[in-house]
């Protein structure tokens, strides 16, 4: 087998691995539905199955060829959530003998999925891996962790799991980390709002040009997944017409953004208008070895050159992409300036701007089709979308190298370098 890998680790730069001869064949994602919107009635499992079937078709790979399935899902949003990876693998059409596993690196989980897929191939445990991310954030439950032990009279104890997902109990809420970065990098409210405005406008321009048509598989209003003797799975969208395009983006103005009040601290600058949207959706992609690609005459959209993760100060969580990107480009013998297109998740506008300022990025190379401020950030899905989107952007713009990166709650960052085929 021609695949090779080389791992590295350091206290300063985190951990990472570089690859040779591993490919991302293609992928698909559902549209991202707005909070409590069209996809809010669909379980993450069914969203994942739908995206997986579309990704297999786009990649021209039969499900029976898949050796492993790696899935990310952060919020347990359905009663059968413990079986989620296996159910996605089965109903997507992979063999009964193909194992499935869940990974969790919060906002970086989608990148982690693709990275672990590449690692499994590089060490000979697979030739083809299906990577999936799925999230129905609208269905994150209200939970009681002490109900079995009973409540004091009149004092039931429930928490909103969605709200808790936005709070690092060891430090500060996620949005406050963006405010902290804004203070450190002297970012004004006007600069942060201008970035959010640009994200919405860039998304609108890319959508009008038909860019997203190539990565979205529409979600029908209802459907059923069947497999031999297993119980059929049925789903139904809240919207009787289904969903064919992203539901969260909105037209806005700088004046409207300026009227929004800060959410996480008195002076902000983080508001609902310059933070990522809470959305529902799924994405999937096929990763394969060079031997498999050549033997089957496939036309992959890109190579996975490596991925890395690093820890940072929890109070400055959003700066996490910086050490991950720096260490990985160094391991590949590259400079940050050698990367043609960057997709850094827009968890918060202040966070992305801080990363761009620290790395010295030309913002004309950053999130050129808009980002999560416009279309939303389904936690376990985003990393796969970033990697697929940046590769498609490289093809459109006739460029060679791209980065998919995200900050991670609790104080981490993750990055992947890809190369256009």
Instruction: Tell me the average pLDDT of the chain.
Output: 97
pLDDT of residue 306: 98
pLDDT of residue 1: 61
Q: What is the pLDDT of residues 250-291, one digit of tens each?
A: 999 999 999 999 999 998 999 999 999 999 999 999 999 999
pTM: 0.97
Average pLDDT rounded to a whole number, residues 176-191:
97
Q: Does residue 4 surpass a pLDDT of 90? A: no
Phi-psi region of 306 (alpha: psi -120 to 50; beta: other; left: phi over 0): left
81 is catalytic: no
355 is catalytic: no
What domains, with CATH codes, occur in the chain?
4-140+277-420 (3.40.47.10)
Roughly how many angstroms between the first and final C-alpha of the chain, as a whole number? 20
Q: What is the pLDDT of residues 196-222, one digit of tens each?
A: 999 999 999 999 999 999 999 999 999
Q: Compute the distance between CA of residue 258 and CA of residue 383 in angstroms, rounded to an integer.
A: 30
pLDDT of residue 207: 98
Q: Which of the residues 81, 107, 134, 421 is marked catalytic? A: 107
Q: What is the pLDDT of residues 68-110, one digit of tens each?
A: 999 999 999 999 999 999 999 999 999 999 999 999 999 999 9
pLDDT of residue 80: 94
Q: Does residue 12 surpass a pLDDT of 90? A: no
Q: Compute the distance between CA of residue 199 and CA of residue 46 in angstroms, rounded to an integer.
A: 29
Does residue 275 contact residue 349 with C-beta atoms inside 8 Å?
Answer: yes
Q: Which of the residues 134, 237, 355, 407 is marked catalytic? A: 407
Q: Does residue 2 surpass a pLDDT of 80? A: no
Query: Given pLDDT bands bounded at 50, 70 and 90, which one contains residue 320?
Result: very high
Average pLDDT rounded to a whole number, residues 149-175:
92
**Crossing angle for the helix pair 44-59 and 84-92, to the nearest 10 degrees:** 40
Q: Please give, one letter per residue, the 3-state secondary structure of 165-215.
A: HCECCCCCEHHHHHHHHHHHCCCCHHHHHHHHHHHHHHHHHHHHCCHHHHC
């Amino acid at each position: 087998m021609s695949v090779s890998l080389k791992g590295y680790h350091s206290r300063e730069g985190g951990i990472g691995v570089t690859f040779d001869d591993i490919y991302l064949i293609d992928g698909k994602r559902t549209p991202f539905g707005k909070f409590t919107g069209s996809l809010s009635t669909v379980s993450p499992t069914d969203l994942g199955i739908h995206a997986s079937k579309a990704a297999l078709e786009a990649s021209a790979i039969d499900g029976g060829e898949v050796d492993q399935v790696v899935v990310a899902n952060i919020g347990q949003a359905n009663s059968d959530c413990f079986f989620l990876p296996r159910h996605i693998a089965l109903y997507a059409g992979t063999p009964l003998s193909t194992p499935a596993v869940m990974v969790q690196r919060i906002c970086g989980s989608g990148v982690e999925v693709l990275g672990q897929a590449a690692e499994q191939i590089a060490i000979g445990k697979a030739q083809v891996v299906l990577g999936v991310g799925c999230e129905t954030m609208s269905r994150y439950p209200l939970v009681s962790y002490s109900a079995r032990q009973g409540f004091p009279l009149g004092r039931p104890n429930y928490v909103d799991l969605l709200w808790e997902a936005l709070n690092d109990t060891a430090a500060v809420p996620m949005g406050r980390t963006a405010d902290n970065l804004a203070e450190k990098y002297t970012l004004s409210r006007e600069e942060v709002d201008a970035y959010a405005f640009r994200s919405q406008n860039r998304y609108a321009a890319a959508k009008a040009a038909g860019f997203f048509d190539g990565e979205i598989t529409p979600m029908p209003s209802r459907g059923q997944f069947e497999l031999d003797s297993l119980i059929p799975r049925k789903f139904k969208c809240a919207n009787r017409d289904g969903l064919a395009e992203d539901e969260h983006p909105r037209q806005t103005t700088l004046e409207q953004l300026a009227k929004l009040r800060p959410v996480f601290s008195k002076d902000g600058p983080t508001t609902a208008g310059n933070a990522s949207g809470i959305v529902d959706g799924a994405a999937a992609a096929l990763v394969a070895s060079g031997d498999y690609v050549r033997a089957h005459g496939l036309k992959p959209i890109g190579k996975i050159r490596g991925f890395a993760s690093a820890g940072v100060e929890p109070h400055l969580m959003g700066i996490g992409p910086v050490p991950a990107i720096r260490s990985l480009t160094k391991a590949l013998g590259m400079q940050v300036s050698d990367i043609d297109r960057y997709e850094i998740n827009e968890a918060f506008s202040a966070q992305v701007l801080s990363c761009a300022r620290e790395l010295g990025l030309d913002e004309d190379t950053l999130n050129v089709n808009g980002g999560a401020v416009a279309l939303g950030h389904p936690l376990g899905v985003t990393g796969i979308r970033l990697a697929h989107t940046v590769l498609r952007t490289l093809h459109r713009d006739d460029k060679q190298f791209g980065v998919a990166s995200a900050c991670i709650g609790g104080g981490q960052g993750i990055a992947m370098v890809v190369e256009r085929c």
